[in-house]
Amino acid sequence: MYIRKRFGLWNAITMLIASIALFSGTIQMAQAANEQEQLVEKAKLTVETLAAQTDMAQFRKLLAVSKGIVVFPQVLKAGFIVGGAGGSGVLLSRKENGDWSSPAFYTMGQASFGLQIGAEAKELVLVIMTDKGLKAIINNQVKLGADVSAAVGPVGKDLGASSTTNMKADIFSFAKNAGLFIGASVEGSILDAKEGWNASYYGKSVSVDDIVIHRNVDISHANPLKAALKAAEAP
């Protein structure tokens, strides 16, 4: 009888521990999914803010003929002597008919050296102009300026309608600084896919290629972001 009671108590404790672990895991998954959803929503706001600026006509023209885009709603830059920057963002590809894919999650890192102090948070957008640039990012751990060419995005309204097709670069970059979007150098930055975030967002293991090229997955939550990109393209 005593032995049975001990085993009964042990089983109850084991079940309680398992239940707590399951509950904790569920909470963590929900928190992760919420974080991903918030990032997608912030990316939409970044696109809308950038496209609304009067001196961003060239961005809109580039977007209309682009192969894809990477949006980082927040890039934190900080440093003292040795500095760096980093943030999380989303990659979407654009078909020739103008349809945008669902987002794949990415992280960006950039190291810099020099006498510097302070911290800065800004939004960053990379407009991908070539198949080479898109494939390099999809293939993972691409270094901008080395594996693919990266140029400061053109800003202004008087560059001419043909200027966007004459500029040769795999990627053009725009960043928000002091409330305004400007061209920004991203050379030396490394982009890396966040495979765990992609799996959590879509509910299964899925590659970046499956998301943005083959488009084997879709999610209604990303529709507002796709609509914002479509609306941002130059008419």
Residue 188 is predicted with a pLDDT of: 81
Residue 29 is predicted with a pLDDT of: 43
Q: Is the separation of the CB atoms in 102 and 222 below 8 Å?
A: yes
Of the chain, the percentage scoring pLDDT greater than 90 comes to: 49
Size of the chain in residues:
235
- Position 25 confidence tier, pLDDT thresholds 50, 70, 90: very low
Amino acid at 142: V
Give the mean pLDDT of 95-121.
Answer: 76
Lowest-pLDDT range of 15-19, 136-140, 150-154: 15-19
What span, in angstroms and rounded, lies between the C-alpha atoms of 23 and 182? 46
Which residues in the chain belong to E strands, given as ranges? 68-93, 104-128, 142-143, 150-152, 171-177, 180-183, 190-193
Q: What is the pTM of this model?
A: 0.78
Closest to 180 in 3D by CA, of 87, 74, 55:
55
DSSP per-residue string spanning 80-101 = EEEEEEEEEEEEEEB-TTS-B-
Give the mean pLDDT of 69-83.
Answer: 72
Residue 9 is predicted with a pLDDT of: 57
Q: Which residue has the tokens 């006498």?
A: 115
DSSP classification of residue 179: T
What span, in angstroms and rounded, lies between the C-alpha atoms of 125 and 17? 45
Mean of the per-residue pLDDT values of the chain: 80
Lowest-pLDDT range of 7-21, 55-69, 118-132: 7-21
How far does the chain reach from its first CA to its final CA, in angstroms?
82
Question: Do the bridges between strand 171-177 and strand 180-183 make them parallel or antiparallel, or are there none, so unpaired?
Answer: antiparallel
What span, in angstroms and rounded, lies between the C-alpha atoms of 51 and 46? 9
Helix or strand or coil: residue 69? strand
Q: Is the separation of the CB atoms in 126 and 173 below 8 Å?
A: yes
What span, in angstroms and rounded, lies between the C-alpha atoms of 209 and 70? 15
- Position 86 confidence tier, pLDDT thresholds 50, 70, 90: confident
Burial class (CB in 10 A: 0-12, 13-18, 19+), 134: buried
Give the mean pLDDT of 222-234.
Answer: 95
Between 23 and 55, residue with greater pLDDT: 55
Q: How many helices (H) and strands (E) does the chain have?
A: 7, 7
Closest to 46 in 3D by CA, of 76, 75, 86:
75
